[in-house]
Structure 1
Amino acid sequence: MSKKTIRKYDGPAGGWGALKSVATHLLEQDIPLRGARTLLKANQPDGFDCPGCAWPDRDHTSTFEFCENGAKAVAAESTRHRAGPELFAQYTVSQLAGYSDYWLEDQGRLTTPMRYDAASDRYLPVGWDQAFALIAAHLNGLASPDEAIFYTSGRTSNEAAFLYQLFVREFGTNNFPDCSNMCHEPSGVALKHQIGVGKGTVSLHDFELADAIFIFGQNPGTNHPRMLGELREASRRGARIVSFNPLRERGLERFADPKDTLQMLHYGSTPISSDYCQLRIGGDLAAVKGMIKHVLERDAEALLEGRASLLDRAFIAEHTTGFDAFAASVAAESWDVIVAESGLSEAQLRHAGDIYLGADKVICCWGMGITQHKHSVATIQMIVNLLLLRGHLGRPGAGACPVRGHSNVQGDRTMMIYEKPPQDFLDRLQAVFGFEPPREDGYDTIGAIEAMRDGRARTFFAMGGNFATATPDTDATHRALRNCDLTVHVTTKLNRSHLVHGRDALILPCLGRTEIDVQEAGPQAVTVEDSMSMVHLSAGINPPASDALLSEPAIVARLAEATLGGRSRIPWRWLVCDYDRIRDLVAQVFDDFQDFNARVRVPGGFRLSNTARDRVWVNPAGRAVFCAHAVPTDNPIHRARARNPDRPVFNLSTLRSHDQYNTTIYGLNDRYRGVFGERRVLFIHADDIAALGMRAGDRVDLESLAEDGVRRMARRFMLVAYDIPRGCLSAYYPETNALVPLSSFADEARTPTSKSIPVVVLPHRPDPEADAPAQRDIPATVVN
């Protein structure tokens, strides 16, 4: 285990540190030369789409855009390490479960289908035909198709996702929990109601035109590094960039572009945020409402003085509804409440409001720091209210920009990986394919866990991802999965979910995005949709990690054939011989994909329509809706503090380290936050450490103050003094997922509230059962 060190990081995001980190990862995966060649083919017209984040590229035809975490994702998938049958012969499942997530990932690419053998507590090789027959037997033996759960990761291609939803709906259920349920579900819910489309309205070109960019609850330096290039250029041409984030994040402060030779040679960097607002965790709705209050007050002053309105009154009159009631709710909200709940001063909020008023074109971006809260839908709608005031929707250089995570999470939802499918879509499925699809809503992620836990669901099938680790309430989720008769995971590498299994279990290895996919008609390409609705091709360039691997579309087709047999009239295997055939079917179901095969072969692909961008409002109101929301003063954190008046109650937000993408752990360093060789750290204000009577470097336990009465603990975290508001904490997930109750989720959207967890901090008490030997402490060096 590497030496644990905490030391302040003074460099910019990117720069030489990013290049060194990528080189280290390529060497660790034994692919320095092939890895460099592979990286140069990422996001190119004749290459593959990066398996990392969903941030778009310039028309997908640009020269190589360096991205540290994208490079890590490519290196991890292209690794020469192999997790074949020999690994599973060496270790029992119980032994594997004792290793860290980092160690499991580092074993390399899976090579062979494996089936769990209870007698030996090992995974043993199994043939593909036997695997599909086993799954089909379990599925066809269920009392109802609704006893099966079909999970989807955001890395699944459009073609695989379309076939997957088609098979599952012909099988007879809408049980489609997916990673959207755990991240940007509130964005879709909020935007669909308010502007008629559940996606962002901007393109990369809009970033070239914006006068002001407001960033809420997002850390692009770690989660979307390529976004820093757009922010850098905006900063250089004088756009104001205002960041709202509880932690000081280096990627929002300074960035050195590794492609800028002059800047690299001179160790220079570009400032990113012109203004940095360190609000309290969960204070975003109050902060945005404070900005709006300032804008409306200044507008009222202008009108009284006989000057022109500061609002876009023509846009409001022609395109919106609800303005008067909304304005009244803002006027009624007191500055005292806004200041107390946001953690920002009135002067700070008025200054941010003035920046908004001084800009002709405004973009608002947000990430999971907004979506994983109790009031996330209301917060997003307040952000959109801000945009509506001056007509910043449907015109160049302005709009809403929810920044998605996984590379095709938006595309999967477009392909209708969705537990609540609209009836017109189901009608179209029936017309095209001749079967009656199920009409009842299915389980989302939380509903799926509850159903498995309670015995209402008996089979779990995962198309990618790491469900056991990504989900909240770790103990409850693990019990739910172990309560299944069968768990199946389609995957490229070993992860924790494969070790938290049902009574029967399968691991099915698939091709990765970087690998050549050869079917009967020759090498195939899949398509993905990025955060800004661009659809483009992705074709791998590396030989498969094993001759036994199947593509995700092939796995779905063979499973459908095995399960449905003669009941289905869909030629599943024929479709997979040439993915153009799948895309032709997509075009028959979705109007936006007409001439799919021709349009996607244009270099850069094509952009899907967006009614809100065209100022067409496809919602019940027929207009964009101003939504009135009071600043929340009775959230779980408020109630926890009221119940515990005699001890300090903190608000904990989970986050990623820099050596991590979602649940995939690439290493044990978090360079920008100064953490090396350690993941169990707790970021806390230095004065809060002193108030607890502790010192930086001490070990503590966290207890969640859940309202369901269940005691949830996360143990052995090292205190790290950090620039974060008092009363707020941050720590990495998945280590802290155990603290999030299933019952704590976003209003209307049911996304786990992983960014706002009431906790108390306790001195660490060793627990032999909880403290696994592989995780025991090496003393840390703390450098002030």
Structure 2
Amino acid sequence: MSREEEARITLYDGPAGGWGALNSVKDALLHHQIPLKGAKTLLHANQPDGFDCPGCAWPDRNHHSTFEFCENGAKAVAAEATARRATPEFFARHTVAQLAARSDHWLEEQGRLTHPMRYDAASDRYVPIEWDAAFALVVQHLNALPDPNQAIFYTSGRTSNEAAFLYQLFVRQFGTNNFPDCSNMCHEPSGTAMRGQIGVGKGTVTLQDFERADAIFIFGQNPGTNHPRMLGELRAAHRRGARIVSFNPLRERGLERFADPQDKREMATLGSTPISTHYFQPRVGGDLAAVTAMTKHVLEAHDARGGVLDEAFITQHTLGLDALRQQLADTPWALLKEESGLTEAQLRAAGDVYLGAERVIACWGMGITQHQHAVATIEAILNLLLLRGHIGREGAGPCPVRGHSNVQGDRTMGIWEAPPPALLDRLQQVYGFAPPRAHGVDTVGAIRQMAEGRCQVFFALGGNFAAATPDTHETWHGLRQCGLTVHVTTKLNRSHLVHGREALILPCLGRTEVDRQAGGPQGVTVEDSMSMVHISTGMNPPASAHLLSEPAIVARLAAATLGARSAVPWAWLVEDYARIRDEIEKVFPDFHDFNARVAVPGGFRLRNTASERVWATPSGRARFASHALPLPTAIHAARAREAAQQVFTLLSTRSHDQYNTTIYGLNDRYRGVRGQRDVVFIHPEDLRALGLRAGERVDLHAVWPQEQDAGHERCVRGFTLVAFDIARGSLAAYYPEVNPLVPLWSVAEGAGTPTSKSIPVVLVPHRPDAPAA
């Protein structure tokens, strides 16, 4: 079981952070056999002359601090800087079938890839291939396609701005907008809702706004695991008297109390700081009803005593309030209570916190975005902010907290299957070619296209597509239908073992490593969740002399594929990445003086029109959105069909030893799970009602309507029941283990994001002799 303990469940009663976090960092460094190098590397994370943490997209307050890293960031750095290597000799010892039988954690543990590898069907092994031959194989497949749209180009949110810009330029010159990316699986509803209501698809706040906020509302987010550095901002806000209101079906330790490892007094006394002043546990999917109830409470307060709404702001900057008023008047409190899973007193208490604050920030994560009605929920959050002018005001605004370190930057660079016409027009003006105008496929559309045999080449710039996506059976079937699958990556993962008839693994430099090109060592840039753009320069020697950078891989592939069809000087651009940034500046006006501004420690912030109260909407105003509560939902329908048994709503979540699909270990410290991942969290009263006990094993059967899901048995087996403080009727389990339960057709309306946080399931006692689903 590697460094993990024996499988067991142990109550955790400490705070988030603290000595547990420091010990975890120490264990990670020692495990990867880099105690001295690892510590030195960490001290250069997020520094003006260092590298950007390859973990989450939460911004850094102080780029001169040597301690602006968190536990999970340290794990990410240690995993990238590991002394372990997956060499050609490793692949010679293992067939792909043997590797496929291993866990995702074991695959991660094998270390850094050192050579480009090609799949050999005769031996069922990956074998070494020279870079020129690898590019020639990709070019052969791409240029043989009768239609460029038979190729799909996936992008991970860890890809740099420079690589992403070259990638979108190459692929659009090749002739397609097939750009599925990780945004399609996480915050697509955020961009959709915000663009429609306030004219920009990004949050409007900065870290400085957190210093001024009187109230911070956190919806569907677990910062203690997913964005640990955010806890520092919340801790400071709580200490100066701000109200922090958390909505989460689970009691998450990071939202309860936090011990800052940088606070000597707190560490010495084993003390901690509370985080949430109010903690509400709606049932899974109940956030739309909860936010609607808060909005109704605010309007009722205004009608009763006046002076509550910011009427000057509403008159000057918005439209649509009358329709929202009518919709809320038609929505009874009894329905809001039933659908949220909260009492009227709780809902009104949350509304009173909002009413008592002059400056309100609303944060949300994937607990909001991965539902059928995600767009409507985010629009409801924006409605609440607009009522009292909390957009375009210091200390206030919407804050979608994104995951991967450059997922927002990749979209800014044009990684989008539905590019705006203005971007295509600008590419044509600058580069003299006619970009394709038809929209490409998003992630779900890409899986459908592959499964139907309409994709011949799948190229992934980072990521772990096979593990990150829903409907595992259909995804894997689709990948295996391809003529060629290619993965640019640093380490072995599941996607390399679910391959097309031909397959390549192309190893690249990590962000911690020196990227030396003809013009000398290079830095790349990223954009965090708050639109700050800064440079990242690696310091470690490359894990292998055979690695190429992502920009170099893209440029060499573009030059080889397009040849004389392209006037872009691909090889010249990657000699010095400042040249790539000059090209970015030509296409995107907000990047004017790019090289000069990014040279300033901390970088620069991109313009956000909504934060200036300039609304880039068709009407030129912000818009209130009206939504009656959607009834019946998929969960209601499942409960009606399965009246003879208890239907739960299952959400997928990360463990604390995990970042997206990367499994660092088998522990989930704050939830008390040790040495295992096949667990399902359930309320103790629900356990008793089912006649089951904690520690028993069950199978989870998804109960989708047969008319939409005919022929699919969606089941995962042998999960251990863990009693946990979670909303009644709700369950939680880890992904990617429960991804098979999410069908392709169940997506967020208007955004296409899989509904991985809203899965109707029933629990069945586990039968060891039952066939696998």
Same-fold status (TM-score > 0.5) = yes
Match of residue 496 from structure 2: 498
1:770 CA drift (Å): 3.7
Aligned pair partner of 1:112 in 108, 111, 115: 115
Equivalent-residue separation in structure 2 for 1:411 and 1:57 (angstroms): 16
Q: What's the counterpart of residue 734 of structure 2?
A: 732
1:296 matched residue in structure 2: 299
One-letter amino acid matched to 2:332: S
Question: Residue 761 of structure 1 corresponds to which residue in structure 2?
Answer: 763
1:579-594 correspondence runs (5 A): 579-594=577-592
Match of 1:169 in 2: 172
Partner of 1:311: 309
- How far did residue 632 of structure 1 move? 2.2
Number of the residue aligned with 2:249 = 246
Structure 2 CA distance for aligned equivalents of residues 59 and 18 of structure 1: 21
Q: CA deviation at 1:767?
A: 4.7
2:91 equivalent in structure 1: 88
How far is the alpha carbon of 1:60 from its aligned partner? 3.0
Following superposition, the deviation at residue 63 of structure 1 comes to 3.6
Q: Distance in 2 between matches of 1:393 and 1:293?
A: 19
> How many angstroms does 1:769 deviate by?
6.3
1:82 is aligned with what amino acid?
A: R
Report if the CA contact (8 A) 1:66-1:259 is conserved: no
**Is 1:748 aligned to 2:760, yes or no?**
no
Aligned to 1:403: 401
- Tell me the CA shift for residue 19 of structure 1: 0.4
Equivalent-residue separation in structure 2 for 1:564 and 1:767 (angstroms): 54
SS at match of 2:717: strand
Q: Tell me which amino acid in the other structure corresponds to 1:349.
A: L
1:61 CA displacement: 3.4
- Cα distance in 2 for residues equivalent to 1:106 and 1:575: 35
Q: Can you list the C-alpha shifts for 1:513-567, whole angstroms capped at 9, x where unaligned? A: 0000000000000000000000000000000000000000000001011111111
Partner of 2:694: 696
Alpha-carbon distance between aligned partners in 2 of 1:630 and 1:328, rounded to the nearest angstrom: 10
Instruction: Quote the offset at 1:291 in angstroms.
Output: 0.7
Q: CA deviation at 1:733?
A: 0.3
Pairing of 1:414-453 with structure 2 (within 5 A): 414-453=412-451
Contact kept? 2:153, 2:459, Cα under 8 Å: yes
Task: Judge conservation of contact 1:41–1:64 (CA < 8 Å) in 2.
Answer: no
Q: Matches of 1:61 and 1:407 in 2, distance apart?
A: 19
Match in the other structure for 1:776: none
Query: How far is 1:64 from its partner?
Result: 2.0
Cα distance per residue 1:260-284 (max 9 Å; x no partner): 0110000000000000001100000
Match of 1:612 in 2: 610
Q: Quick check: 58-67 or 371-380, which moved more?
A: 58-67
For the residue of structure 2 that corresponds to 1:729, the secondary structure is: strand
TM-score by length of 1: 0.97
| Residue in structure 2 matching 1:262, options 261, 265, 281 | 265
1:67-106 Cα distance to aligned partner (Å, 9 max, x none): 0000000000000000010110000000000000000000
Check conservation: 1:182, 1:445, Cα contact below 8 A. Answer: yes
Farther off after superposition, 560-569 or 55-64: 55-64
1:363 is the counterpart of 2:361:
yes
- 1:662 matched to 2:660? The reply is yes
Paired letter, 1:109: R
Alignment match, 1:39 = 42
Write the distance in 2 (CA, Å) between the matches of 1:379 and 1:743: 20
Q: Residue 30 of structure 1 aligns with which residue?
A: 33
For 2:285, the equivalent position in structure 1 comes to: 282
Q: Secondary structure at the match of 1:753?
A: coil
- Secondary structure of the residue aligned to 1:505 is strand
Residue 105 of structure 2 corresponds to residue 102 of structure 1: yes
> Aligned with 2:458: secondary structure?
strand
1:21 aligns with 2:24: yes
Mapped to 2, the partners of 1:14 and 1:740 lie a distance apart of 33
Counterpart secondary structure, 2:218: strand
Q: Counterpart amino acid of 2:723?
A: A
Q: Distance in 1 between matches of 2:455 and 2:383?
A: 41
Give CA deviations for 1:710-734 in whole Å, capped at 9, x if unaligned: 2211111000000011110000000
The one-letter code matched in structure 2 to 1:752 is: P
Q: 1:511 aligns with which of 487, 504, 509?
A: 509
Contact 1:188/1:199, CA 8 A, preserved across alignment: yes
Asked whether the 8 Å contact 1:44–1:64 carries over to 2, the reply is no
Q: Distance in 2 between matches of 1:517 and 1:502?
A: 31
Q: Are the equivalent residues in 2 in contact too, given 1:47–1:539 (CA < 8 A)? A: yes
Task: Give SS of 2:581's match.
Answer: helix
1:537 is aligned to 2:535: yes
Q: Which runs of 5+ in 2 are unaligned?
A: none
Residue 449 (structure 1) shift: 0.3
Query: Could you list the per-position Cα deviations for residues 602-649 of structure 1 after superposition, in whole angstroms to 9, with x for gaps in the alignment?
Result: 111000000000000001121000000112221111110011111100
SS at match of 2:154: strand
Structure 1: tracts of 5 or more residues without a match: 304-308, 772-784
Whether 1:159 and 2:162 are equivalent positions in the alignment is: yes
**Amino acid in the other structure paired with 1:511:** L
Could you tell me whether the CA contact under 8 Å between 1:163 and 1:557 is conserved in 2?
Answer: yes
Match of 2:721 in 1: 719
Identical aligned residues as a percent? 71
State the AA in 2 paired with 1:342. Answer: S
Q: Amino acid of the residue matched to residue 368 of structure 2? A: I
> 2:725, 2:655 → 1: CA distance?
16
Task: Tell me if structure 2 keeps the 8 A contact 1:387–1:393.
Answer: yes
Q: Partners of 1:648 and 1:632 in 2: how far apart?
A: 22
Aligned pair count? Answer: 766
What TM-score does the superposition give when structure 2 sets the normalisation length?
A: 0.98
1:64 aligns with 2:67: yes
Contact persistence 2:45–2:69 (CA under 8 A): no
Aligned equivalents of 2:404, 2:772: Cα separation in 1: 31
Map Cα deviations across residues 726-781 of structure 1 (whole Å, 9 max, x no partner). Answer: 1100000000001000000000000000000000111112258649xxxxxxxxxx
2:81 counterpart letter in structure 1: S
The residue identity in structure 2 corresponding to 1:235 is H
Partner of 2:134: 131
Alignment of 1:382-401 (within 5 A): 382-401=380-399
Match of 1:207 in 2: 210
Distance between the aligned counterparts of 1:477 and 1:638, measured in 2?
27
Q: Distance in 1 between matches of 2:380 and 2:511?
A: 38
Q: Quote the offset at 1:62 in angstroms.
A: 3.3
Alpha-carbon separation, structure 1, partners of 2:24 and 2:98: 31
Name the SS for the 1:330 alignment partner. helix
